[in-house]
Amino acid sequence: MFDRWGRFVYRRRLLVLGLSLLVLAASGVLAAGGGELSNGSPGTGSLESFRASSLVKQELAPATATPAGGSFLLIFSSQTLQVSDSAFRSALESALEPLRSDPRVTGIDTPYTVPPQFAAAVTSKNGREALVTVHTRDAGTKAQKYYGELRSKVHSDVLGVQGTGQIPINLAFNQTLEKDLTRAEYVSLPVSLVLLLIVFAAVVAALLPLGVGVMAIVGGIGGTFLLSRYTDVSQYALNIVTLIGLGVAIDYSLFIVNRFREELAATHDREAALGRTMASAGRAITFSGITVAIGLSAMLFYQGTFLTSMGAAGAIVVAMAVFYALTFLPALLALVGTGVDRLTIPFISAAGHGFWRDLAAWVMRRPLVVMLPTLALLLVMAIPFTHLRLANGGVDALPAHIEARQGYDRLLSDFPGQDQNTFQVVVDYGSGAPDASAVAALGERIATVPGVLRVDPGGTGPHIAVLNAVSSLDGSSDGARAILKQIRAESVPRASVLVTGPTAIDVDIIDFIIGRTPAAVAFVVLVTYLVLFLLTGSVVLPLKAVVMNLLSVSGSFGALVFIFQDGHGASLLGFTPQSLDPSIPVILFSIVFGLSMDYEVLLVARIHEEYRRTGRNRESVAEGLEKSGRLITGAAAIMVAVFLSFGLAEVVLIKAIGIGLAIAVALDATVVRALLVPSVMRLLGRWNWWAPGPLARLAERLNLRERHVEEPAAA
């Protein structure tokens, strides 16, 4: 089938080229049109914290409704003046004057305008800082569009000014992510070109994969913006599209171009060379794309979180990478033919020198000696993962030099009560009326919980009563989680006790993700196993591949905890050590498992091809590694460069994903593929290719085996 496709592309190369460029143009229009990306998760209504918040909005919102719009905070400070000084007040009022006349500002609250009982809360502990709330006509992204203009109007020669609050914090995340994406592209594209030049030793051959990579990114961004018109798509999705798209597209194109050069040199016939290229490399990258998409599909199990949109966006860009690698690239190769080797680079040889064959032979002479220390290394790397701690990312995911982050840190440290954490306890009586005495008794019991400072009434609706338990413990701390556990253990006759607030939301989302992870992992492993069975016809190799991949994932997870949670290298990499966001392990597993299987497919496909030709296991492993090892190393080096460019990101989540992926790919392409795979395949021998009779016959019927590959006479 793939051979016929390659020959069809050769004969209709201009048509295929035109159609692929038409898809690119449509993608470009969608990408240029943009779309609305979400700042957070839409939420899962089944979680207790979300149900509690919904009840409060339904029953108490009409009585406590505030004017529509948003707000942001300004912190005015002085080294010498007190907030109570007339000079401080005069300077503050003067700085705010431009905002009072702006129609987008609906009100301003200062220590001098709020009721006296609230004045202390908006004055710092040392008395030299004032907290001002600026109310805006709009909320969310609308307010973000003009926040910068409003902020630029506020300045003072006497007082320092910092802006923070939900609007500037969300804006800072958006702007920082955009800068991270631009920086990654500026770094990864030139580095990828240099590495491609080293791999191919020819300018034309090197430029082709890079061009396909850019096309895949455009297609992925266009598809993501199209998706955003119908569902919530996370602002992180574009970073994932570029991160995955560039690496995978270059990876696939590299194998196509290299195989075409080999076949063209052997046959001197463009049509035959293109057919054989599609039958081998084209088939392999198709299966590889399927396995990567399967890995990304794990994120679809987390409906209601931003992971779903990231998984969908990743699958879109992988599909675009496979599409262009099977259409645009072969059509272009059909046109250029031997011109693919033009503009050769002196002093660089694209030919192999037997290194990988010699390495495979060395490993297979002493498989246990190589395998056991390698396994020990991966297991040691995984040890830090045993003390993984999860917590939803907050403002500390922003770099410390950003004003919104600085203002937020100052708000928590300098202003009384701002560092307090509230547990909103909702007593739900269903269709009945609240029992005031029972609710009061509950409040008294909650007040005795260690860590609770006080319990305030939060209002009463037709069917609910609300209590606000206040604590000074950080919302994601173990102490706050212990308070939540004790409150949720309380009960009230004829009512259910629900808790919401930062800690409750944090714990509920973590539990939600952990609860769905076994099903997501099982699905990915089983479907990947099935795909590899169809590729190889073996029930042993897929099992070996899954185990190898899980080892790669475990090692990279351990490294991630060691760096980002334990803080090793924090000053060098420029981040605040913190618990890992629960989405990071999910994203890392989804991408790493798919990409690791990517290399497994490309390597095993070549080994399988040699085994079908010769019937000799050791020689097939050595020859397969020789013919694909250099390419896998080159492709992995490019992927590592791409991922490390995202490691330069300032948002911790993107930085962690980039560095985690770089470590995982480096481990997989060196330790796993070069050492573990040959040693394990040597020990398994002919069992590598074994399958029970009925399954072997099924694979024979379903497998996309190419007829031009010669079978061994005595296989």
The pLDDT of 437-465, averaged and rounded, is 92
Q: Read out DSSP for 177-232? A: HHHHHHHHHHHHHHHHHHHHHHHHSBHHHHHHHHHHHHHHHHHHHHHHHHHHTTS-
CATH T-level assignment (fold) for domain 8-37+202-338 = Multidrug efflux transporter AcrB transmembrane fold (1.20.1640)
What's the CATH code, domain 357-387+540-690? Answer: 1.20.1640.10
The pLDDT of 130-134, averaged and rounded, is 95
> What is the rounded distance in angstroms from the CA atom of residue 196 to the CA atom of residue 422?
55
> What pLDDT shows up at residue 707?
44
> What pLDDT shows up at residue 40?
58
Six token digits for residue 385: 């993962």
Q: What is the per-residue pLDDT across 166-215, written as a single tens digit (0 to 9) for each? A: 999 999 988 888 888 888 888 888 888 888 888 777 888 888 888 888 89
The mean pLDDT of the chain is 85
Residues 6+ apart with CB under 8 A from 472: 419, 420, 421, 451, 453
Six token digits for residue 247: 């690496």
Between 145 and 704, the more confident residue is: 145
> Of the spans 441-450, 469-478, 594-603, 673-682, which averages the highest pLDDT?
441-450
Q: Read out DSSP for 302-327? A: STTSTHHHHHHHHHHHHHHHHHHHHT
Q: 499 near 39, Cβ under 8 Å?
A: no
Classify residue 29 as exposed, middle or buried by CB count within 10 Å of its CB (0-12, 13-18, 19+).
exposed
Task: Count Cα neighbours of 176 within 13 Å in the Cβ-side half-sphere.
Answer: 25
> What pLDDT shows up at residue 238?
85
Question: Could you tell me the maximum CA-CA distance found in the chain, to the nearest angstrom?
Answer: 99
Q: What is the per-residue pLDDT across 1-40, written as a single tens digit (0 to 9) for each? A: 777 888 888 888 899 888 989 999 999 898 888 777 776 5
Between 31 and 163, the more confident residue is: 163
Name residue, tokens 């409003």: 150
Q: Which of 112-116, 524-528, 680-684 has the lowest mean pLDDT?
A: 680-684
Q: Is the model's pLDDT at 704 over the cut of 50?
A: no
Rg (CA), the chain: 30
Q: Is the model's pLDDT at 351 over the cut of 50?
A: no
> What pLDDT shows up at residue 701?
67
Q: Read out DSSP for 565-617? A: IT-TTHHHHT----PBPTHHHHHHHHHHHHHHHHHHHHHHHHHHHHHHHH--H
> What pLDDT shows up at residue 39?
62
Confidence of residue 140 (pLDDT cuts 50, 70, 90): confident
The pLDDT of 144-167, averaged and rounded, is 94
> What pLDDT shows up at residue 85?
95
**What are the domain boundaries of the chain?**
8-37+202-338, 70-170, 357-387+540-690, 405-507
The pLDDT of 500-511, averaged and rounded, is 91
Q: Any idea what DSSP says for residue 110?
A: -
3-class secondary-structure state, position 104: coil
Same fold, 8-37+202-338 and 357-387+540-690: yes
> What pLDDT shows up at residue 626?
72
Q: What is the per-residue pLDDT across 527-537, written as a single tens digit (0 to 9) for each? A: 888 877 877 77
> What pLDDT shows up at residue 61?
66
The pLDDT of 253-280, averaged and rounded, is 83
Confidence of residue 706 (pLDDT cuts 50, 70, 90): very low
Q: What CATH superfamily is the domain 70-170?
A: Multidrug efflux transporter AcrB pore domain (3.30.70.1430)
Q: Which of 474, 477, 434 is nearest to 457 (CA)?
A: 434
Q: Which of 253-262, 490-499, 502-511, 608-617 has the lowest mean pLDDT?
A: 608-617
3-class secondary-structure state, position 335: helix
The pLDDT of 47-60, averaged and rounded, is 88
> What is the rounded distance in angstroms from the CA atom of residue 533 to the CA atom of residue 536?
5
The pLDDT of 521-546, averaged and rounded, is 83
Question: CATH says 405-507 is which class?
Answer: alpha beta
> What is the rounded distance in angstroms from the CA atom of residue 40 to the CA atom of residue 579?
19
236 to 114, 176, 177, 226, 657: CA distances (angstroms): 39, 11, 7, 16, 11
Share of the chain above pLDDT 70, in %: 92
Q: Any idea what DSSP says for residue 564?
A: I
Q: What is the per-residue pLDDT across 385-401, written as a single tens digit (0 to 9) for each? A: 999 998 887 788 888 88
